[in-house]
Chain A
Amino acid sequence: MLSISQELADKIVAHARADHPDEACGVIAGRDDVPERFIPMENAERSPTFYRFDSMEQFRVWREMDDRDETPVVIYHSHTATEAYPSRTDVSYASEPDAHYVLVSTRDEDEVEFRSYRILDGVITEEEVRFLP
């Protein structure tokens, strides 16, 4: 299960809306599986169907997390024309076994789809999301 503050969840959605129709992506760093620090990342691909963290930005952010004893608790990205479910490429490149992979769909202007998964060894497991006040 992913427990996340409503404020952080809103930030993810706002980022996804702002970058639509391109995919948005980012990290929420934290400790002990608690997402705390919102880090929007640049989508180096600037694409409506693909995302990739810029390699130098990722290096800086990962080193900063290391220095602060944080981990990437949440790795999020948006789908802009399809449902918030991991695509085949999401599964093949998933490389953080301890992260909650959050997907947001912006295909509908009024409705938000916000879902979370574990992706491990090619297997997708959806999990419950609890929004904390």
Chain B
Amino acid sequence: MRMIIIYDGPMHVKPKIKAREIMVLAFHKRNVLAMFAGVCLSGMALADGAPVITIHNARFEPDELVIAQGVRTQVLIRNQDAIPAEFESYDLSREVVVPAHGEVSFFVGPAEAGRYEFFNDFNRDMKGVVVVKPAAGER
């Protein structure tokens, strides 16, 4: 695995550039620590590969979330807008307020294959759908 760190520290030392490989070094210890902590924390907070739905400019992104059939999945809703939203789904019986610039997570499934709609109860024009697909190898 190759790790690329974006350089944003002061130019005490010029980055070394090797042939066929770009290595940008960060010389600010603080930045490296922050990135390391960020990677660890985001890994710890949720199960691996937990799907994320972002609320941005009064839209769900993505507005179609695919999850596997028969699996309990933890979904993270991240609100980047300045107003709170209420993620709600009659089809899945889910209802959760997502604070402005905040994030919440909840569980979905295990569910049968199908389409399960959701919306923002504070702005019903914002809609999306959770698509539950049969797991690979199952037909």
Q: Do A and B bind each other?
A: no
Q: Which residues of B are in contact with A by a Cβ distance under 8 Å?
A: none
Q: Which residues of A are in contact with B by a Cβ distance under 8 Å?
A: none
